């Protein structure tokens, strides 16, 4: 991923230097396991561990000839060790190194991602609790529906973030598997006990049944979980973008001193961070498709997945890490305008209370169809004339005869709609 959308800790995991170091860690762990079994003499192991080193530049130079990255790496390592390097890679195939090393990278990256998602959950929780009683209008199909609170809206995002946190954690538990079972998964040249010892040292589990590779459904599950998490971030970003529209302006991104919104229009304060989140989420989501297509490899393995993973895995991890940090900063600094929310709620002539009146008329003996017709008739008049729905209903004979003025007033009190908000927040506070 380009530096613009990468953070240093995550980017460091996916460098060539870090990748080759993981390969070396796997190779040396296998050598130690063989030495414990008496296959590699102690003095040879000591020489191997003392001399084991690599150079990214030298490995890449050798690869120009070998056209095989693992062979190039081993050649470079062997140059540094000397004759005892004959034991390095003993009984192994390239994918033993590649897939085990990749699992280590994904597990390490997963910890960062889960921590980032957890931080966003807590940021959303804090803002939700801050605005648990901040009245605003709820919208369905983009149209005013009924009163809600801004805190309740944010609470939904907080719970979604928590689900993504759990989903990412579970997915990375499924990728924490390595394999040393050889060319077709039969342990023909290396004992299962060696694999078990090495995986214990590396902090991984043994893949129960491997081919030449670890099954790619594990990798697909991780990328799918990241795509779902990115979609959640996009949903949050789209909400903020809508709320920052000039005619709404209920909330907006923080705007720093010296910041510019447009080269041509000095007045502009655009939701550029939310728009960036929206755009980059599309990239992560798109990466989930090739991850799924990587599952169907030929027989015991082909290499069609390899080139794909070299792109989609580092890019997806880097982007999600960046987006989680960016989203958390956005939520922390979000400017929320309760007064404007009240103005917007009041702007639809009391139509948001229509269901309350509908049920009141039903309680007074009208059929649901009769009650619906009476309320809708007055609601359409309110839409067309800008008159208050309550005033129209108060002067409608079908309503006057059923509901007295004091009860009608009570039906336009938003507190009725919000009386169970605390029950919902009991769930949020448990996060």
At 206, give phi and psi (nearest 5°): -80, 130
Does residue 68 have an active-site annotation?
A: no
- Chain-centre distance for alpha carbon 92: 36
With helix as H, strand as E and coil as C, how does 341-382 read? HHHHHHCCCCHHHHHHHHHHHHHCCCCHHHHHHHHHHHHHHH
Q: Which residues of 120-129 are buried (b: 16+ CB within 10 A; e: fewer)?
A: bbebbbebbb
Cβ distance 240 to 335 under 8 Å?
no
Does residue 262 have an active-site annotation?
A: yes
Contacts of 152 (CB under 8 A, 6+ apart): 128, 132, 421, 424, 425
Question: If we measure between CA atoms, which residue out of 213, 2, 184 comes closest to residue 101?
Answer: 213
Cβ distance 28 to 97 under 8 Å?
no
Cβ distance 249 to 338 under 8 Å?
no
Active-site choice (68, 262, 307, 347): 262
Active-site choice (141, 267, 299, 420): 141
Name residue 177's beta-bridge partners: 205
Which residues are marked as active site?
Answer: 141, 262
């Amino acid at each position: 991923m380009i530096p613009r959308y990468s953070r240093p800790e995550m980017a460091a995991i996916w460098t060539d230097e870090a990748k080759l170091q993981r390969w070396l860690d796997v190779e040396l762990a296998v050598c130690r396991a063989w030495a414990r079994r008496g296959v590699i003499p102690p003095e040879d192991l000591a020489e191997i561990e003392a001399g084991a080193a690599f150079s990214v530049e030298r490995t890449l130079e050798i690869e120009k000839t070998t056209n095989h990255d693992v062979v190039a790496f081993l050649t470079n390592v062997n140059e540094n060790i000397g004759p005892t390097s004959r034991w390095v890679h003993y009984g192994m195939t390239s994918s033993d190194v590649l897939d085990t090393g990749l699992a280590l990278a994904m597990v390490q990256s997963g910890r960062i991602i889960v921590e980032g998602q957890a931080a966003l959950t807590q940021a959303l929780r804090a803002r939700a609790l801050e605005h648990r009683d901040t009245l605003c209008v709820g919208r369905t199909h983009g149209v005013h529906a009924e009163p809600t609170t801004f805190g309740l809206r944010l609470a939904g995002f907080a719970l979604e973030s928590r689900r993504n946190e759990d989903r990412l954690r579970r997915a990375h538990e499924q990728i924490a598997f390595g394999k040393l079972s050889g060319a077709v998964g039969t342990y023909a040249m290396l004992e299962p006990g060696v694999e078990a010892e090495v995986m214990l040292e590396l902090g991984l589990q043994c893949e129960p049944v491997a081919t030449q590779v670890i099954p790619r459904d594990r990798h697909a599950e991780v990328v799918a979980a990241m795509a779902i998490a990115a979609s959640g971030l996009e949903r949050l970003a789209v909400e903020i973008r809508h709320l920052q529209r000039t005619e709404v302006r209920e909330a907006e991104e923080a705007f720093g001193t010296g910041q510019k919104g447009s080269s041509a229009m000095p007045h502009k304060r655009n939701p550029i961070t939310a728009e960036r989140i929206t755009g980059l989420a599309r990239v992560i989501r798109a990466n989930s498709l090739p991850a799924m297509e990587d599952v169907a490899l030929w027989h015991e393995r082909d290499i069609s997945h390899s080139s794909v993973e070299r792109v989609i895995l580092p890019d997806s991890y880097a982007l999600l890490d960046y987006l989680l940090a960016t989203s958390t900063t956005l939520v922390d600094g979000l400017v929320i305008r309760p007064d404007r929310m009240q103005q917007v709620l009041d702007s639809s002539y009391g139509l948001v209370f229509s269901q309350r009146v509908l049920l009141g008329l039903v309680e007074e003996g009208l059929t649901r169809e009769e009650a619906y017709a009476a309320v809708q008739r007055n609601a359409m008049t309110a839409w067309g004339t800008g008159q208050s729905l309550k005033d129209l209903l108060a002067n409608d004979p079908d309503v006057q005869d059923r509901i007295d003025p004091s009860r009608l007033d009570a039906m336009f009190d938003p507190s009725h709609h919000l009386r169970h908000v605390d029950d919902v927040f009991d769930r949020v506070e448990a996060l």
